[in-house]
A and B are shown apart, each in its own frame.
Chain A
C-alpha cells in the first residue's frame, strides 16, 4: 500500500472509493466470482474437482474410448468396451430410421425437405417485423406443401400412406398442427370463459378444467381406444389423426388459460372505449382487446409451445412413430440393443436444439417487452 490514506492512524472521514484489489484482471475476476469468501472458496474448489472428474470420465467415455464406426452389424468391438466407451457407430447405422421411420428409403428426401420447411416456417414466424397478414398465407402455403411432400400421389411423387410416416416429421407435424389449430380454439375458449353468459362460461370452464385435470396420456388412451367407440359404424379415423385431435384439444385448454391471463391484464377502459365507439363484440375483441392481450402473454405462450413440443413425445405410449418411438424401436435390433444410451443422447440433442432455440427466443422477447 502506497497511499497514505490507507493507513489506519490517519483515516479520512469519508472515502467512498472502492479499494482496488491487487492483481491483474483475471485474478480480480477470480477473487470476486470464485473466492469471495471462505465458503465460496470451498464450494469453488469442490466444484472444480467434481467438474474435472466428470469432464475426464465423460471425455474418456464419449470420445477417447468411443468407437465411431463399425462395418456392417459387427458390434463385437463395441460390446468389448461397454461401460468404458460409447458406441457412436449406432448413430450412422440407424440415423435414417430414427429421423424418418419406415418411410420408403429412396423417398426419404421428402420428409427431410418437410423438416427443413418446418424450420424455415418457424424462423419466418419468429421475426417480429414480419408479423402481418401475409404470414397467414405463408403458413397455409407451407402446410399445403408439407402435405404434398408427405403424402405424394401428385406431381409424379409416389403415394406414401400415413402409417409409414415416422420420426422427426411426425413430431413436427403433431406439434405444429396441434398449435395451429389449438391456438384459435384457445382464443375462443378464453373469450368464452370471460363471457357474461353463464351457460357459455360454464361450458368453457368445464372443458378447460377437465382437460387440465387429467394426465395427457389418459387423453391419448382415450383417442386411441375410446374414440372409435364414439364414431358411427364404418367411419374409421386414422390413429395419427386421432392423436392429433387429442393434441389439439389439449393445446386448446392450456393456451386458453395463458390467453385468459392476457385478457385479464387489459384495463377496463379499453372495453369501455370500444363500447363507446359502438363496435360489435367480435370487432371489439378482434381489433382492440385480443391483439393487446396476446402481446402481453407472448413469453408464457412460447413456454407453453415448448412444453407442448416436448409432450408430443408421449405418443410413444399409444404406438405412434414419432421421433422418440423410432429411437426406441431402432435399438430393438439385438446387435445394437445395448447401446440405447447413445441413441437417447442423440435424440435428446435434437429435442434440446428445438426447445433451447425457443426458450432463448422467449427470453429475448421478454427482454424486449420489459418496460424501461
Chain B
C-alpha cells in the first residue's frame, strides 16, 4: 500500500454513500413522513369541521363540570354532584384496584399451577394441563360473562352461603370481616412500612459485615423489634383499635365488613383464572429451561425437592420467566377494561359514559390512552428494573 493517495478512495466512498443510500433514504423518509402528515392533517381538519358542525367544543374544560353519573362501587368518597375529574380519579382507582390485586393473585395461582403441571404425580399434572387448555382457549369476555351470570345466580342476601363464620357469598357479592381503618391505624401501618425499609437496609449492612469478617449475625431480633415492637408501640401510644367487625344481615343487606361487589368479584375471578393459565405456561417453560443437571446435582446432595425448587431452580428460572411475565401483567391491566361488559366502573367505563354524556369523544379516548400508557409504562419500568437486578451477570 502506498501512502500517496489516501484521500482518493475516501472521497469516492463518501460520494457514493451520499448518492445512493443517503439520498435514497432521505427521499423515502420525506415521502413517508409527508404521507403520514397529510393523512393526520386531513383527519384532523375533518374532525375540527365535524366538531364545529355538531357544536362540540374541544379541550378539557368539561372536566370541571358536574358529572351527574352514579358510581356504585368506589373506595373514594364520591357523589354524582362531583365534577368529571373526580369521577375519572375514582375510575382510575377502580382500575388499579382490579389490576394490582389481580396481578398478585394471578401470579400466585399461575405459579402453583405451573409447578403442578410439572409434578411427578400424573393426575395432578394432567389436571393442571386441562385447566390451562380450557381457560386459554375460551375468550376472556365469555368467561367474564359466565362468572357474572353465576354470581347473579347465587342465593339472595337472606339465604347467603356461609362457608366460614363472618363470610357471606350471595348475589350481593362477597362480604368479608374487616378492620375499620382510622387515622391511628394508618400511623401503625406507616410505622410497619418504615420498620420494613429500615430492616432492609440493616440486612444489607449485616450481610456486608459478614462478607468482611465472616461472622454471621442473627437478623431476627432486629426483625422482631422493627416489625412487631415498633408498630405495637405506636398502636399503644395512639390507642388504635383493632377490633374486627363481622358483617351482619340486617333487613335486606349486610352491615359492616368489607363488601366485594358482584361486578368486581366476577371481574377479578375472570382476570385471575384466565391470566393464571398463561402464567402457568410461562412458569413451566421457565423451570424447564433450567438445565436438568441442576436438579441432579441438588438431588445428589440429598436436598429436598421443595428446597431445590425454592432455592436453586426458581431463582434461575426467574431470568427466563420475567420478560414474558411482564407482558402478562400488562395484558391483565388492559383486559381489566372489559369491566364495562358487566357494569363495573373502571376508568374505561367512566370515560365511555362521559363520552356519551358530553360528546367529548377525542378527549375521553385520549384520557383512556394516557391512563393506560402511564400504567403500562410504570409496570414495564418496574419489571425491567427487577429483571436487571436478577439478570445473570456474566464476567
Q: Which A residues lie at the B interface, using CB under 8 A? A: 33-34, 36, 40, 43-44, 47-48, 51, 83, 196-200, 203, 210, 213-218, 221-222, 225-226, 228-233, 306, 310-311, 313-314, 316-317, 324, 328, 338, 340-341, 344, 347-348, 351-352, 355-356, 359
Main secondary structure of the interface of B (DSSP, over half): helix
A-B contact pairs, 14 of them (CB 8 A): A33-B121, A36-B120, A197-B29, A199-B29, A203-B33, A221-B355, A221-B368, A226-B361, A226-B365, A230-B43, A324-B145, A341-B150, A341-B153, A348-B138
- CB-CB under 8 A from B372, the residues of chain A are 213-215, 218
* Contact of A199 with B32 in the complex, beta carbons under 8 Å: yes
Report whether A355 and B28 are in contact in the complex, using a CB–CB cutoff of 8 Å. no
Residues of chain B within 8 A of A316, CB atoms compared: 141, 341
Given contacts A317-B340, A351-B139, A356-B137, contact A43 B361 (CB under 8 A): no
Find chain A residues with CB under 8 A from B36 CB: 203
Identify the closest chain B residue to A224 (Cβ).
B361
Interface residue ranges, B against A (CB under 8 Å): 25, 28-29, 32-33, 36, 43-44, 46-47, 49-51, 53, 119-124, 127, 133-134, 136-143, 145-146, 149-150, 153, 334-335, 337-338, 340-341, 348, 352, 355, 361-362, 365, 368-369, 372-373, 376-377
> Which of B28, B44, B138 has the most CB atoms of chain A within a 10 A radius of its CB?
B138
CB-based contact B127/A229 at 8 Å: no
Evaluate contact between B146 and A215: CB separation under 8 angstroms: no
Contact A200 B373 (CB under 8 A): no
- Count: A-B pairs, CB below 8 Å: 152
Which of B25, B334, B340, B373 is A197 in contact with, Cβ under 8 Å? B25
- Docked complex Cα distance between A338 and B33 (Å): 56
Closest chain B residue, CB of each to CB of A48: B123
Instruction: Please indicate the chain B residues that have their CB under 8 angstroms from the CB of A317 in the complex.
Output: 338, 340-341
Q: Are A47 and B124 in contact (CB under 8 A)?
A: yes
A316 vs B139: C-alpha distance when bound (angstroms): 12
Contact at B51–A229, with CB atoms within 8 Å? Answer: yes
User: Measured between alpha carbons, how far is A203 from B368 in the docked complex, in Å?
Assistant: 22
Known pairs A199-B32, A226-B365, A324-B141; A355 contacts B136 (CB<8 A): yes
Query: Closest CB-CB distance, A48 to chain B, in whole Å?
Result: 7
Min C-beta distance of B156 to chain A, whole Å: 13
Q: How far is the CA of A228 from the CA of B362 in the complex (A)?
A: 12
Q: A221-B355, A226-B361, A351-B138 are in contact. Are A40 and B121 (CB under 8 A)?
A: yes
